[in-house]
Amino acid sequence: MRRSLPDPDSRVQVLRARRKHTEQVLLMIVYTVVELWAAVAVVVLLKDDGVLAVAASVVLAGLLLALWDSWRTLLKFGRALRAWLPEELPAEEPEPVRVSRLVRL
């Protein structure tokens, strides 16, 4: 997934980037908890020693690799975001003047 870094001089982009990263971290925490719960459930409830056990172990290994890669990517982007953005927020941007073309009767 390709993400671009926001403009550090734009207050709106800085706030949006911080909020989006926080949302992604929270979703990743929920996803990790659910996936680990499912993995534990499969390991505990699986009563087979044959091909099904091998298939389950391959799927669980893929699950752990996917979780590790997702966390690594998310944390790497978080480090880049913190290094890129200023510590303090930029000044408020003035509201653009909106010109209405409506005619009052």
Structural domain of 64: 11-84
Q: Is 26 exposed, middle or buried (0-12, 13-18, 19+ CB in 10 A)?
A: exposed
Of the segments 14-28, 55-69, 91-105, which one has the largest average pLDDT value? 55-69
pLDDT over threshold 80, residue 90: no
In a domain, 105, yes or no: no
In a domain, 42, yes or no: yes
Cβ atoms of 84 and 8 within 8 Å: the answer is yes
The total of structural domains in the chain comes to 1
- The pLDDT value recorded for residue 43 is 86
pTM higher than 0.85 for the full model? no
| pLDDT tens track for 18-51 | 888 889 999 999 999 999 999 899 888 888 888 8
- The pLDDT value recorded for residue 91 is 61
In a domain, 5, yes or no: no
